[in-house]
Amino acid sequence: MHILITGAAGMIGRKLTARLVEAGALNGRPIDTLTLIDVEAPQKPEKFTGDVVTAAADIGDAATAPAAIAGRPDVIFHLAAIVSGEAELDFEKGTRVNLDGSRALLEAVRTAGNRYRPRLVFTSSIAVFGAPFPDAIGDEFFHTPLTSYGAQKAIVELLLADYTRRGFVDGVGIRLPTINVRPGRPNKAASGFFSSIIREPLAGQEAVLPVDDSVMHWHASPRTAVGFLVHAAGLSSEQLGSRINLTMPGVCCTVAAQIAALRRLAGDKVAARIRRAPDPLVERIVAGWPRRFDPRRALALGFRAEDSFEDIIRVHIEDELGGNIVL
């Protein structure tokens, strides 16, 4: 089993790599080769005994995708993307990477010849949906994204489905909830504050909250997101049918409920490290985002998220903080 990960140096890419190396197998087959690419070269996983190729390569460059699939990986995890805030500020960069880069990968697979038809797991986003919404968004709700990032993800979903229908690739698109708690430094995603308001207080630092406490959103932990990717890789074409793009389950809660969960787990002093500073750009972007889903197909296909936001915080404390909170 040969696996290619694009965006392998990103937060999810690193956790996915670690999970695959730990398991040593995917879909019941031993992993013997990993190809890991990102704009900055991903680190080689230490414990892996098979072959590893790591490369610094921009998926938006025409030469990248054909080179990345030259070794004919059996499974491709396509995670590389310009995040929402940056894609909104830099239209051309977002288009080049999120749209043209994904399309180049699909085209490289299509034109590889010799019936090459890998499983391609694409990380889409709930940003493909745009307000106004019903109370809970069903699996057949339409895509009217209100960011260029969402539009680019929605377009790649359509390409992935058509390439899969025609037999050019064996695709699955999964619409990830907002990943929470993201470890490390904030990135340029407009959704970054959903993590900051948990991560920074738990580390003894102040966090900035740019939106109102009443903002409701859809969350899953990094551990769960990696679980979605691995599960998606193992679904059969028969299980998926023709509608291969799926909204993932998540935890729906308000910012107020996030803060209440933090207070219950870590106390008043930790929760008091959140400072309110409204940001009109972030407020405008987030206002167009979905809040709650009814993801029946994904649940029926066996995808599982956390049960509560407290569980999401517990995953962060376990996976990132070694169980330690700065009180």
Residues taking part in catalysis:
149
The pairing of beta strand 33-38 with beta strand 178-179: unpaired
To its own copies, the closest distance from the beta carbon of 152 in angstroms equals: 8
54 binds its own copies (CB under 8 A): no
Contact 184, 123 (CB under 8 A): no
CA atoms of 192 and 175, how far apart (whole Å): 17
To its own copies, the closest distance from the beta carbon of 142 in angstroms equals: 5
Given candidates 25, 30, 91, 300, which one binds its own copies under the rule CB under 8 A? 91
Contact 216, 45 (CB under 8 A): no
> Binding to its own copies (CB under 8 A): which residues in 97-126?
none
> Binding to its own copies (CB under 8 A): which residues in 232-251?
242-243
Given candidates 154, 172, 209, 232, which one binds its own copies under the rule CB under 8 A? 154
Given candidates 39, 53, 161, 299, which one binds its own copies under the rule CB under 8 A? 161
Given candidates 130, 227, 249, 295, which one binds its own copies under the rule CB under 8 A? 130
Residue number, 232 or 265, with CB nearest to its own copies: 232
Beta-carbon count within 10 A of 223 CB: 17
Residue number, 98 or 224, with CB nearest to its own copies: 98
Question: At a CB cut-off of 8 Å and minimum separation 6, what does 83 contact?
Answer: 149, 187, 188, 189
CA atoms of 232 and 229, how far apart (whole Å): 5
Given candidates 143, 263, 304, 314, which one binds its own copies under the rule CB under 8 A? 143
Query: Where is 4: in which H helix or E strand?
Result: strand 2-6
65 binds its own copies (CB under 8 A): no
- Nearest CA to 297 out of 237, 218, 241 is that of 241
166 binds its own copies (CB under 8 A): yes
Contact 94, 125 (CB under 8 A): no
CA atoms of 211 and 279, how far apart (whole Å): 7
Given candidates 80, 159, 240, 315, which one binds its own copies under the rule CB under 8 A? 159
Binding site for its own copies (CB under 8 A): 91, 130, 139-146, 148, 151, 154-155, 158-159, 161-162, 165-166, 242-243
